[in-house]
Amino acid sequence: MLYSTDWSVIPNNMGLFLKGVLLTLEISVLALLFSIPIGIIVGLLRISRNKIVSFVATAYVEVMRGIPLLVLLFWIFFVMGQFLRLGPYWSAVLGLATFSGAFVAEIVRAGIQSVPKGQMEAARSSGMTYTQAMRLIILPQAFRKVLPPLASQFIILIKDSSLVSVISVVDLTLIAKNLVATSFRSLEVWTFVALLYFLITFTLSQIIRYFEKKYQVSE
């Protein structure tokens, strides 16, 4: 027997889908806001002259990049969550922020190292301390260079957030799973959810591209 489609499941549950989209964006934005300071601190520590500090920061980056996000979410929710009582929502935010922070750290490190070394030497020779030179000269220049990859990391974060459904966060993916279980409309539901994720990420990528072009023109 051929599969008979019934797309009425989409408009009939549009409120649920919108709720899922909002929660997905909310978790992604929070995770990004937490991952940026983590990434900046770790990125600065990565280039520290102190070998121990640099080693610890590098170890964090390598561990986070080497562990699957799904495993990290499970560990935070089932292990750490038992002691801190985080719950699904904050376990998801913490997991995504910790995971994304490692990638942000590499973006920040690359941005800082892309600034010509002569800039730091000139700043130090003018009487600035290392901290002053980094804060006033190097970081402002690096900030412009890291904005595009940071924006791209946000798009990746939105797609990665689909995994938080495994720890019972009622995001877009979990809502889709529940609808499929009750309506048996897997083709319609998953096609629509895929379209929603595409629309979100495509819209953000176009916004990023617009600002990149505008920035290039202003330079």
pLDDT at position 125, please? 82
**In angstroms, how far is CA 91 from the centroid of its own chain?**
15
pLDDT at position 2, please? 58
Nearest to 62 by CA among 33, 99, 10, 116: 99
pLDDT at position 48, please? 86
pLDDT at position 136, please? 81
Give percent above pLDDT 70 in the chain.
96
Rounded to whole angstroms, the Cα distance separating 174 from 176 reads 5
- Give the pLDDT of the chain (219 residues) as one tens digit per residue: 556 788 899 999 999 999 999 999 999 999 999 999 999 999 999 988 899 999 999 999 999 999 999 999 999 999 988 788 888 999 999 999 999 999 999 999 998 888 888 887 887 788 888 778 888 888 888 887 888 888 889 999 999 999 999 998 989 999 999 999 998 899 999 999 999 999 999 998 888 888 777 766 555
Whole-angstrom Cα Rg for the chain: 21
For the whole model, what pTM was predicted?
0.87
Mean pLDDT over the full length of the chain: 89
Going along the chain from its start, the domains and CATH numbers come out as 9-218 (1.10.3720.10)
pLDDT at position 162, please? 92
Residue pair 63/126 in contact by the 8 Å Cβ criterion? no
pLDDT at position 69, please? 95
pLDDT at position 121, please? 80
Rounded to whole angstroms, the Cα distance separating 100 from 108 reads 12
Give percent above pLDDT 90 in the chain.
61
pLDDT at position 70, please? 95
Whole-number Cα distances in Å, 146 to 59, 141, 159: 22, 9, 20
pLDDT at position 72, please? 96
pLDDT at position 156, please? 92
